[in-house]
Amino acid sequence: ETGVTQTPRHLVMGMTNKKSLKCEQHLGHNAMYWYKQSAKKPLELMFVYNFKEQTENNSVPSRFSPECPNSSHLFLHLHTLQPEDSALYLCASSQRGSASGANVLTFGAGSRLTVL
C-alpha cells in the first residue's frame, strides 16, 4: 500500500454508538492531520499530530477523540455524535521540513460519516 489509507470509507452510526476512524500513511511523514469537510464549507482543521504529539486541537468537541500511537497511524474515536457531525473526514500527512517552503499535505480518500 502507498500513500494515505483511510478506513472505513463509509460509516453510518446512531447517536449513542462508539466507532473509530483509522488512518495509515506509508510515506514516512512525521505530521498527521484530521480535517472535516462539510457541504459548502472550507476544509476545517480538527487535530494535528507532529512526531506523535498533538500540537493542535482546533476547538473540537470532546465527542471526537484523536489517538496517534505512532507516526504512521492516526485514529479518530467517535462517541455520542450529533447529526450535524455528518461529514467527510479526511486524514492527511506531511513531512515537517525546515521553517520554509510550503507544507504540502497528502490526503487520504476520506471516511464519509452519517450520524442518524
Partner 1 sequence: DQQVKQNSPSLSVQEGRISILNCDYTNSMFDYFLWYKKYPAEGPTFLISISSIKDKNEDGRFTVFLNKSAKHLSLHIVPSQPGDSAVYFCAAGGSFSGGYQKVTFGTGTKLQVIP
Q: Which residues bind partner 1 (CB under 8 A)?
A: 4, 6, 31, 35, 40-43, 45, 48, 50-51, 55-56, 90, 92, 94, 96, 99-110
**Nearest residue (CB) to partner 1, 7 versus 55:** 55
- Smallest separation (angstroms) from partner 1 to the CB of 107: 3
Rounded to a whole number of angstroms, the minimum distance from the CB of residue 81 to partner 1 is 22
- Distance between CA atoms of 67 and 83, rounded to whole angstroms? 23
Q: How far apart are CA 53 and CA 12, in angstroms?
A: 30
Q: Which is nearer to partner 1, 2 or 16 (CB)?
A: 2
Nearer to partner 1, 43 or 63 (CB): 43
Task: Specify the 3-state DSSP secondary structure of 11.
Answer: strand
Would you give the DSSP letter of residue 83?
Answer: G
CB of 113 to partner 1, least distance (A): 15
Minimum Å distance from CB 41 to partner 1? 6
Q: Please state whether 26 falls in left (phi above 0), alpha (psi between -120 and 50) or beta.
A: alpha
Contact present, 5 and 24 (Cβ < 8 Å): yes
